[in-house]
Amino acid sequence: MGEKKPLKDLTDLPGVGPATAQRLVEAGYTTIEAVAVATPHELSAVANLPITQATKIIEAAREALDIKIKTAIDLKKESLVRKKITTGSRNLDELLGGGVETKNITEFFGEYGTGKTQLCHQLAVNVQLPEDKGGLEAKAVYIDSEGTFRWERIEQMAHGVGLDPDKVMENIYWVRAINSHHQMAVVEKLFELIARENIKLIVVDSLTGHFRAEFPGRESLAMRQQLLNKHLHQLMRIAEVYNVAVVVTNQVMARPDIFFGDPTAAVGGHVVAHAPGVRVQLRKSRGNKRIARIVDAPHLPEGETVFAISEYGVRDAEP
């Protein structure tokens, strides 16, 4: 990835000389966007600056990007900028208010085999569809923390929607996240890639797996929660700044009651629940059918729907 251009951009900010710019780039703040969404504390720490100067730099970056106080009508206009990506199932789209939306995080959670990864694959294909078919004619990034991404499945699903499978695969950037730290670093790096490429979907499958494995038990709870929060904020910022859809998965136990008394059991869910976004619970039903239910979304009606996972991907369930 070219580092010359972003470096030049950064030094355009008042108060950022070449040395500061260099430190920012090395710490992953390679673009004005990345600086604009940083906190003064973060920036001050990584670039070794006084908080006041860090604050000024962030303000300048925000001004450069036109981030300002808005009126309700501004918000309405912005919401019109929000786009939807079809899941492949009309019923599920309807439940989601039209599909998975940009400028937002959608979380699919449920036990193993409920279709979280299938939905992620399907969305990475569907984002490439033309707008009149429910896509955004754009590319996807797939952050794979569990090693469950299968290009073969993408190929099948591309056939299923009538797109050229090789082209579809060319338009999906795949990154294997090795551990939680790497997973967060990958997202930070995306600020650069997304500035250059027409990316409208970021998948993190799974969001919570590494964090759960690395911070097990009661004693590391606070740390895990703090890191997951930071990760979600990163993702929310990227969704906002670039108008992309972020889709994350979260494996949760089917019967949390068996963990009754263990405060760690619900924590992944707890953290994610307090982040902005849409939470969709998935459950198994008969055969290839799955049940989706929206959980605490103030702007969406309560309810559930059934969809199916077929050889060609996510579809409405046969009646």
Residue nearest to Mg ion (CB): 117
Instruction: Read off the tokens for 65.
Output: 């990007």
- Rounded least distance, CB 135 to ligand ATP, Å: 20
CA dist., res. 181 & res. 188, Å (int): 11
Residue 281 binding: pick among Mg ion, ligand ATP, none (C-beta 5-8 Å cut-off by kind): none
Binding mask 230-269 for Mg ion (x = CB under 5 A): ----------------------------------------
- Rounded least distance, CB 232 to ligand ATP, Å: 19
Residue 22 binding: pick among Mg ion, ligand ATP, none (C-beta 5-8 Å cut-off by kind): none
Based on CB atoms, which residue is closest to ligand ATP, 89 or 118? 118
Range 92-103 burial, b when 16+ CB lie within 10 A, else e? bbebbeebbbbb
Based on CB atoms, which residue is closest to ligand ATP, 82 or 151? 151
**Positions 63 through 122 that interact with Mg ion (CB under 5 A):** 116-117
- Rounded least distance, CB 93 to ligand ATP, Å: 18
Based on CB atoms, which residue is closest to ligand ATP, 76 or 112? 112
Based on CB atoms, which residue is closest to Mg ion, 151 or 164? 151
* Residue 237 CB neighbours (<10 A): 18
CA dist., res. 232 & res. 193, Å (int): 19
Residues 6+ apart with CB under 8 A from 252: 109, 110, 111, 268, 269
Residue 225 binding: pick among Mg ion, ligand ATP, none (C-beta 5-8 Å cut-off by kind): none
- Rounded least distance, CB 249 to Mg ion, Å: 6
CA dist., res. 156 & res. 188, Å (int): 31
Residue 311 binding: pick among ligand ATP, Mg ion, none (C-beta 5-8 Å cut-off by kind): ligand ATP
Where does this chain bind ligand ATP (CB under 6 A)? 110, 112-118, 148, 251, 288, 309-311
Enumerate binding residues for Mg ion (CB under 5 A).
116-117, 148
